[in-house]
Structure 1
């Protein structure tokens, strides 16, 4: 009797191929990637070239024009101080146009528009707090002038105090400057500087000048 060889091959047979197993596990996804991609334009990096704002830049967008206060932010020297000075003639014009409630409504609108304009411009410049973004100084100092007693001496004193608080940023201004981001953060820290300025003016008027 002839015994036929088994058709079964041993596991060591070269013709036997291992089964290919498809992994059903999804690829790992770093949930932080999306956030990093969104924040990339705002992060300083030697590989990302930041735009240099000029007249063409501010004319190219309403948001840029507002954020740079019509071009005042292009000042090569102390743009924040220049913007605060520009608030003086703007205040005199607005005071002539609006009654007190209308002026306050204008300031509320200016603050809201400033959040949008500073946000858009900061993203375009890849710098949320670019030195040329000065609409926050203009709006905040207009608020200061609205509540400051009449007279050039009071207004000059208000100017010096506002610039002092805006530059040295005492607590909690510096805390909120670092904590809050985007257009709201840019506008809010100057609002705090305005509050401290008005607080000092109120103290001086009540306890010094009587």
Structure 2
């Protein structure tokens, strides 16, 4: 099997065009929030936080839960398609996984004020970026293209969300 050169990252102007080529790209790239040149995962998570605050104005907690469930399935598909089209197994510009994961954290941890939400955001970013223990395991579990690749893109962020929720629950138990 011949060696294939690693894919070259798309320049910013090509990424902006790529965003609108297929609906999956727009979703997976967080409606453009993943196009940030600096820390796209953090920018995508911030976009997810703001979107959650707006969505909760119109949705009941049950409605938000249904939206999250649908977003997980839609994200699996969108991340699979977008990664395949980018020819990168887990592109950093795909941020739908961060968006849905922060929605899960906020949905399950609310109500809390700004500082609690900021702490949840910071904890999630720590677990997602540093990938300690179970997050690293989940990150390695499914790699490649096809349905397994899309699942792999989403899974480590879901585990990071679980770890965040666990820390919040322990904090509330001991200090709340």
Fold agreement, TM-score > 0.5? yes
Listed as ranges, the matches of 1:48-127 within 5 Å are 49-50=7-8, 52=10, 53-127=14-88
**Does the 8 Å contact 1:67/1:114 carry over to 2?**
yes
Partners of 1:51 and 1:200 in 2: CA distance: 36
Q: Tell which has more relative contact order, 1 or 2 (C-alpha 8 A, sep 6+).
A: 2
Alpha-carbon separation, structure 2, partners of 1:110 and 1:188: 13
Return closer, same or farther for 1:78/1:154 CA change in 2, 3 Å cut-off: same
Unaligned runs of 5+ in 2: 144-148
CA distance in 1, matches of 2:138, 2:106: 23
The 2-side partners of 1:138 and 1:86 are apart by 7
Alignment of 1:27-42 (within 5 A): none
Greater CA radius of gyration, 1 or 2?
1
Q: Distance in 2 between matches of 1:45 and 1:188?
A: 27
For the 8 Å contact 1:80–1:137, the answer to whether it is kept is yes
| 1:1-210 equivalent positions in 2, closer than 5 A | 45-46=4-5, 49-50=7-8, 52=10, 53-148=14-109, 149-181=111-143, 182-209=149-176
| Runs of at least 4 residues off by over 4 Å | 48-51
Q: Distance in 1 between matches of 2:69 and 2:8?
A: 31
RMSD: 1.7
CA contact (8 A) 2:7 2:88 kept: no
Whose helix proportion is higher, 1 or 2? 2
Give deviations 1:15-51, integer Å, cap 9, x for gaps.
xxxxxxxxxxxxxxxxxxxxx8xxx9xxx832x6546
Give the Å deviation of 1:101. Answer: 1.0
TM-score scaled to structure 1, two decimals? 0.75
Structure 1 alignment gaps of length 5 or more:
1-35
Return the offset for 1:55.
Answer: 1.0
Asked if structure 2 preserves the Cα contact closer than 8 Å seen for 1:50 and 1:125, the reply is: no
